[in-house]
């Protein structure tokens, strides 16, 4: 693994725009994991996240010469990643669904406690994936950019091209729906006493 | 849980509440419980599987390899529609019968000349007669109908005023520019005749309106602005420039030059 580059984004962007391939490589590596996480949460599966991340990375490379620095570099790339992931999501939804197997894999038997914990983790991930899948795209993008990409409201507003007030509202409503969906899922699948049930957003 | 409570809980989690709002939040047990639920949602969202390191290296290598190919190289993979220059269609609609009659006159006149000359250099004579007598039939129809181009600065600022376009222009644009985007070769050749040529903001809007009836295109935009509607050429200073037509976040339709990623035309929704 290449050594950690201590140059800040602004410096790296400037050098990358000047043709420094190493600087560009460092930028991509620095942001790759979080871009992938954003794509993973918006696109909904690891396979689609991989594709969306690759599209986003290529787009970043091709467009960086024209990045004008009016927004933070991270805001700019998360916007690209969000678009790529939403495109991937829509593409997947147009594909016929042959089966409903999660691509992270779900073992059928737990051989030891560690395996059981891994199983739980997979189940939890599947729960959040299913909850996200039930969320409108607008809400999903706003919540993911806040809670996964860690952008502030103004940056999300810029990335999504919507007013800050709309960002707040979408995040709040998105979180409310996710909390309700996860609570319902917990109530349906394991100890109902351990978690809150019946989110208000689910109440007719 | 009402919207106000939900906003309070969400703001509390993000640390954006005012002193007064914070006091209201902590005094409301429902809001306090909701904050805990939102924190659990955040924790779940952040618990993403770590990306595969080999995959990471491969993706970054592939992205860097894209440095060696120009942005325009991505264009052929984006479906394009067959070209029917809008101005030409307008001429066909309004002047078609006149042009047909003129062409008939030219043919007859040419035939007379040929008969009179005995056919030794007939082709040259005939073509000369045709050029002299029926310039409208042979000159580029675009040259007479392209609106005066706006300045480059106006274009970059997206301040190009809407060109005065008759309804027929929009109709033409819709019917000609918006066949469902289908694959076409030579999309990067500025002189090829297989992509739509747009020559006014009105035509741009019509292109986008018609594209809305077709399945959305996949893929992100080459210039990273808005959502892709399709690809076309936009006539700038008489030159058809390859553009991607995008819908910007505010709903505006824009034609963005692929070589410079500057907005060359823009229309409100």
Cα of B253 to nearest chain A Cα, Å:
14
Q: What is the mean pLDDT of residues A74-83?
A: 92
C-alpha–C-alpha distance, residues B31 and B50, integer Å: 33
Q: How far is CA B137 from CA A4, B83, B116, in A?
A: 67, 20, 24
Instruction: Tell me the mean pLDDT in the region B25-53.
Output: 92
User: What does the angle CA A54 – CA A59 – CA A60 come to, to the nearest 5 degrees?
Assistant: 100
Looking at the partner chain, which of A46, A91, A153 has a beta carbon nearest the beta carbon of B16? A153
CB contact under 8 A, B67 and A61: yes
Taking the C-alpha atoms of residue A204 and residue B104, their distance in angstroms, rounded to an integer, is: 74
A87 and B219: CB-CB below 8 Å? yes
Q: Provide the pLDDT for residue B209.
A: 75
CA distance A83 to chain B (A): 6
Mean pLDDT lowest among A91-100, B50-59, B185-194: B185-194
Q: Does residue B77 register a pLDDT over 60?
A: no
- Low-confidence winner among A36-45, A62-71, A91-100, A167-176 (lowest mean pLDDT): A91-100
Q: Which of A147, A149, A152 to mutate to test the interface with B (most CBs of B within 10 A)?
A: A147
β-pair type (B253-257, B239-247): antiparallel
pLDDT at B217: 55
Quickly count: other Cβ atoms within 10 Å of residue A181's Cβ.
22
Mean pLDDT of A176-181: 92
State the pLDDT at residue A78: 93
Q: Which residue has the tokens 């390191």?
A: B53
Q: Which residue has the higher pLDDT, B169 or A9?
A: A9
What per-residue confidence (pLDDT) applies to B106?
53
Q: Give the pLDDT band of residue A195 (cuts 50, 70, 90).
A: very low
Average pLDDT over residues B72-88: 37
Q: What is the mean pLDDT of residues A124-142?
A: 86
Phi, psi at residue B236, to the nearest 5°? -120, 120
Q: Residues near B189 by Cβ (< 8 Å), separated by ≥ 6?
A: none
Average pLDDT over residues B129-154: 32
To the nearest whole angstrom, how far is the Cα of B123 from the nearest Cα of chain A? 52
Q: Considering only CB atoms, which chain A residues are within 8 Å of B44? A: 124, 127-128, 182
Residues in A closer than 8 angstroms to B67, CB to CB, are 21, 24, 61-62
> B44, A128: Cβ pair inside 8 Å?
yes
Q: Which residue of B has its CA nearest to A22?
A: B64
Compute the average pLDDT of residues B130-146. Answer: 32
- With a pLDDT cut of 90, the percent of chain A lying above it is 49
Residue of B nearest to A183 (CA): B37
- pLDDT on residue A36: 95
Interface subset of B 117-136, CB within 8 angstroms of A: none
Percent of chain B with pLDDT over 70: 48
The average pLDDT across A124-147 equals 88
State whether residue B160 is helix, strand or coil: coil
Q: Which two tokens stand for residue A91?
A: 């593409």
Q: Is the pLDDT of residue B69 over 80?
A: no
Q: Is B98 helix (H, G, I), strand (E, B) or coil?
A: helix
The answer to whether the CB atoms of A148 and B11 lie below 8 A apart is no
pLDDT above 50 (res B135):
no
pLDDT (average), residues B167-175: 33
> For the segment B198-228, what is each residue's pLDDT rounded down to a tens digit?
878 788 888 777 776 555 554 556 677 777 7
Q: Among the listed ranges A54-58, A113-117, A160-164, which one has the minimum average pLDDT value?
A: A113-117
What confidence score (pLDDT) does residue A168 get?
96
Q: Evaluate if pTM is beyond 0.80.
A: no
- What integer pLDDT is reported at residue B121 of this predicted model? 38
Q: Is residue B93 predicted with pLDDT exceeding 70?
A: no
pLDDT at B116: 47
A159's enclosing H/E stretch is helix A153-160
């Amino acid at each position: 693994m290449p050594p950690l580059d201590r140059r800040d984004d602004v410096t790296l962007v400037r050098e990358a725009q000047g043709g420094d391939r190493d600087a560009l490589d460092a930028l991509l590596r620095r942001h790759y994991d979080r871009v992938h996480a954003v794509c993973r949460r918006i696109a909904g599966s690891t396979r689609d996240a991989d594709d969306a991340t690759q599209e986003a990375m290529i787009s970043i490379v091709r467009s960086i010469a024209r990045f004008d620095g009016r927004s933070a570099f991270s805001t700019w790339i998360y916007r690209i990643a969000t678009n790529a992931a939403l495109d991937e999501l829509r593409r997947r939804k147009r594909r016929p669904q042959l089966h409903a197997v999660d691509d992270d894999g779900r073992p059928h038997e737990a051989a030891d406690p560690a395996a059981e914990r891994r199983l739980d983790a997979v189940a939890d991930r599947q729960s959040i994936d299913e909850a996200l899948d039930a969320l409108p795209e607008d809400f999903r993008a706003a919540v993911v950019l806040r809670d996964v990409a860690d952008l502030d409201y103004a940056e999300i507003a810029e990335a999504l091209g919507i007013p800050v007030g709309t960002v707040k509202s979408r995040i709040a409503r998105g979180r409310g729906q996710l909390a309700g969906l996860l609570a319902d899922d917990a109530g349906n699948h394991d100890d109902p006493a351990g978690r809150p049930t019946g989110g208000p957003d689910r109440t007719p | 849980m009402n919207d106000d409570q939900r906003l309070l809980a969400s703001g509390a989690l993000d640390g954006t509440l005012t002193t007064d709002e914070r006091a209201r939040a902590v005094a409301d047990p429902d809001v306090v419980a909701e904050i805990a639920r939102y924190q659990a949602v955040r924790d779940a969202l952040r618990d993403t599987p770590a990306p595969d390191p080999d995959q990471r290296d491969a993706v970054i290598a592939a992205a860097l390899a894209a440095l060696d190919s120009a942005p325009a190289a991505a264009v052929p993979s984006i479906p394009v529609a067959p070209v029917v220059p809008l101005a030409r269609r307008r001429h066909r609609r309004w002047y078609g019968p006149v042009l047909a009659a003129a062409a008939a006159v030219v043919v007859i006149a040419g035939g007379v000349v040929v008969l009179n000359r005995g056919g030794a250099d007939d082709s040259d004579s005939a073509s000369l007669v045709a050029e002299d007598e029926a310039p409208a039939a042979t000159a580029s129809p675009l040259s007479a109908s392209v609106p005066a181009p706006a300045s480059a600065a106006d274009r970059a600022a997206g301040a190009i005023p809407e060109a005065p376009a008759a309804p027929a222009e929009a109709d033409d644009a819709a019917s000609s520019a918006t066949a469902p985007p289908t694959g076409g070769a030579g999309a990067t050749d500025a002189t090829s005749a297989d992509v739509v040529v747009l020559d006014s903001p009105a035509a741009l809007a019509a292109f986008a309106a018609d594209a809305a009836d077709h399945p959305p295109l996949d893929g992100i935009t080459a210039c990273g602005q808005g959502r892709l509607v399709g690809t076309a050429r936009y006539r700038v200073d008489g030159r058809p420039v390859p553009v991607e037509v995008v819908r910007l976040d505010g709903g505006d339709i824009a034609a963005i030059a692929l070589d410079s990623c500057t907005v060359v035309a823009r229309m409100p929704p």
